[in-house]
Structure 1
Amino acid sequence: MRIHPLTASYAGLALLMATAAAASTTPAVTGHIAGPDGGWDYASVDPAHDRLYVARSTSVTVIDLPKGKALPSIGAIAHSHAVVPLPGTSTLMVTSGHDDSVRFLDTRSGRELGRTAVGKDPDGAFYSASLKLAVVMNAKAGTVSEIDPKAMKVVRTITLKPGLEYPQQGPGSSLFANNEDENELETADLATGKPGKSIALTGCEAPSGLAYDARSGMLISACDNGKAAVVDARSRKLVKLLDIGQGPDAVILDAARRKAYIPCGRDGTLSIIALDGARAPRVTGAVKTEPGARTGALDPRTGKLYLPTAKWGAAPAGQRPKPVPGTFHVLVVSLS
């Protein structure tokens, strides 16, 4: 269909105005969803089924997003770290850190479909749509398990270094994984199984969360010393360090809205990073959240963020504070 030039100009103006409005929005905490007690780690949104999954100490918390309430927990996990919905299925892959396994759960019934042994202390994980493989970081073993999710079996193990945290697939079949012990990014080729050269993250201590923005080709690592390290995935060089809050454990990418968010649990803040512009990536502000909100997940359809946390009791001398029983909840952060 041919579009009249004047109509096209109005359409372009409307698109420009919508883009400007989206760029000017500031996130804010707009609610919270109560859940069961227990520790937590990473979270994932499954937009196809309107569910949020949160990795917990002994199970997986399931939250119905339209209703904003927790459903019965599923699985029997020995300290879960990552929860990965497998696209096009009702299967959830969960890393189980204390028994060195990966579990596969039916999200409809909660039944365990199978499990496979991996390396010691499986932590971060993701599903590669291009390779049709699940990829798991075994933190203490320093290995990467490539898993056929249909067969629920390990098909290859790549040896890197102990200390592996969160991974991302970069350009092509490249793998990048934070190493919190070595303060660097480990690399490998997932197609060939060959490890690559490490990338030093000078000025970044104990990197944990990691995101990859395909449009800019940049990786963003969250560091425990109030910094975020930006790395060019193609040149494999550290580009810059950004100032963020204290105590992060995730980098949450919103590629469509050209933002990245880093929840900083020690400060109780959410650092906002713009992905576009002359000096991008750059920090453009921070939102007050709550102490302990250090991981989270994005609903790509709405732009809402979901950050697990709890209320905290006073800490005895030399010890970490503990969550107050009955206070676990998930913060809802919306675009205002």
Structure 2
Amino acid sequence: MSKTLCFIGTCLAVACAMSVASAKDAAAPAYAVSAHWNVGGPGGWDYLAVDEAGQRLFVTRGDRVAVLDLANGKSLGQVGPTNGVHGVALAPSLGKGYASNGKGDSVTVFDLKTLATTATIAIEGHNPDAIVFDAPTARVLTFNGRSHDATVIDAKTERPIATIALSGRPEFAVSDGNGRLYLNIEDRGELTAIDTKSAKVIATWPLKDCEEPSGLALDAEHGRLFSVCQNDHMIVTDARTGHHVASVAIGKGPDAVAFDAERHLVFSSNGDDGTLTIVRQQSADRYEVLANLPTQHSARTLALDPRSHRVFLAAAEFEPLPEKHEPHQRPAMKADTFAVLVVGPAGTP
């Protein structure tokens, strides 16, 4: 049965399950931390993005985006300055990249080859966080945490063309490459679907058994969405209907999730307990935890390279909080301890 037919729901559920039978029957590879790249430098971090074609890793660092060689972690340059950057979206077809500047209420446009800034786009939304390039419409969408909306930018004219009101505070988002985009609504425990051509919300679904969903990933073949939640669960949702499919136990403090479509594995990075939960997709509706791999405390965001099947996580060491501290006060990061951890199939560099 073809991938497309399974996704649009014209085949029986058992046929979709059979399409991942190889993942169920084959022995899953063991994973291990294979490298620890000492990147150093000041500043916190948020999202990471893999440039699969260029074999580069983009790491947001507040006032800049660090660009690393996926082979060895060496610096290849940086994008910036950026004002409170959260995320990076890549548009290889246009030769451009886009960085969401949370403190600047703007988007930095840069050349993918030279990394030089080519434009800065001001938006009306406040605190743009997640950012996605939607290839079918050639549009960039930012998801604005403070104003509870999304800004739609025409990537060709580099001008905002629409604002989409949302039900609450948006978190991570993914495009299915076929005109739909999905995002978590963190403060309401919801999942929203957007039609990227009309720039309108077409559905908002409650996420059962999920508190404060953050990271989101998509299995486009079977129409399954993976939301990681602060109550130590990963929720699997049917992208066609919004129906709850499964709830999977994960580590504490997740902030990102990735799906390896070739190996049918889901990875959740859990910063509070310093683990990477590895989940195997036995079928479109069945999931099992293979491991909670120790990584490093604070390793809460990740990116996956589909080519090598390696996972990249950002982490650092922190000073203890003073005995008397403000509520929600964050500890100071120890100087030059920022690092990228590389997790891959055991025996690979």
Q: TM-score, normalised by structure 2?
A: 0.86
Once the 2 structures are TM-superposed, how far is the Cα of residue 210 of structure 1 from its aligned partner? 0.3
Query: CA 1:205–1:127 in structure 2 vs 1: closer, same or farther (change >3 Å)?
Result: same
Once the 2 structures are TM-superposed, how far is the Cα of residue 27 of structure 1 from its aligned partner? 1.3
Aligned to 2:286, the other structure's residue is in SS state coil
Query: CA 1:215–1:70 in structure 2 vs 1: closer, same or farther (change >3 Å)?
Result: same
Partner of 1:26: 30
Which shifted more, 110-119 or 278-287?
278-287
Contact 1:59 1:77 in 2 (8 A): yes
2:46 to 41, 44, 63: 41
Once the 2 structures are TM-superposed, how far is the Cα of residue 134 of structure 1 from its aligned partner? 1.7
Contact 1:227 1:243 in 2 (8 A): yes
Query: CA 1:19–1:238 in structure 2 vs 1: closer, same or farther (change >3 Å)?
Result: closer
Which shifted more, 89-98 or 311-320?
311-320
Contact 2:135 2:177 in 1 (8 A): no
User: What is the aligned length?
Assistant: 320
Map residues 215-230 of structure 1 onto 2, 5 A cutoff: 215-230=221-236
Partner of 2:242: 236
2:146 to 140, 149, 167: 140
Deviations along 1:17-54, one digit per CA (max 9) or x if unpaired, are x9789742111101111222210000111122121001
Give the whole-Å Cα distance in 1 for the aligned partners of 2:181 and 2:91.
Answer: 19
% identical equivalent positions: 35
2:107 to 94, 102, 108: 102
Ranges in structure 1 where 5+ consecutive residues have no aligned partner: 1-17
Which shifted more, 47-56 or 186-195?
186-195
Which shifted more, 108-117 or 262-271?
108-117
RMSD of the alignment, in Å?
Answer: 2.1
Give the whole-Å Cα distance in 2 for the aligned partners of 1:194 and 1:150.
Answer: 20
Give the whole-Å Cα distance in 2 for the aligned partners of 1:307 and 1:294.
Answer: 7
Ranges in structure 2 where 5+ consecutive residues have no aligned partner: 1-21
1:321 to 321, 331, 339: 331
2:158 to 152, 157, 168: 152
Aligned to 1:275, the other structure's residue is in SS state strand
Query: CA 1:164–1:19 in structure 2 vs 1: closer, same or farther (change >3 Å)?
Result: closer
Partner of 2:196: 190
Partner of 1:301: 307
Deviations along 1:291-321, one digit per CA (max 9) or x if unpaired, are 1111111111101111011122212245433
Which shifted more, 162-171 or 285-294?
162-171
Contact 1:170 1:233 in 2 (8 A): no
Once the 2 structures are TM-superposed, how far is the Cα of residue 279 of structure 1 from its aligned partner? 5.2
Structure with the bigger RCO (C-alpha within 8 Å, sep 6+) is 2
Contact 2:152 2:199 in 1 (8 A): no
Aligned to 1:40, the other structure's residue is in SS state coil
Q: Are 2:88 and 1:83 aligned?
A: yes
Aligned to 2:255, the other structure's residue is in SS state coil
Which shifted more, 291-300 or 141-150?
141-150
Contact 1:52 1:64 in 2 (8 A): yes
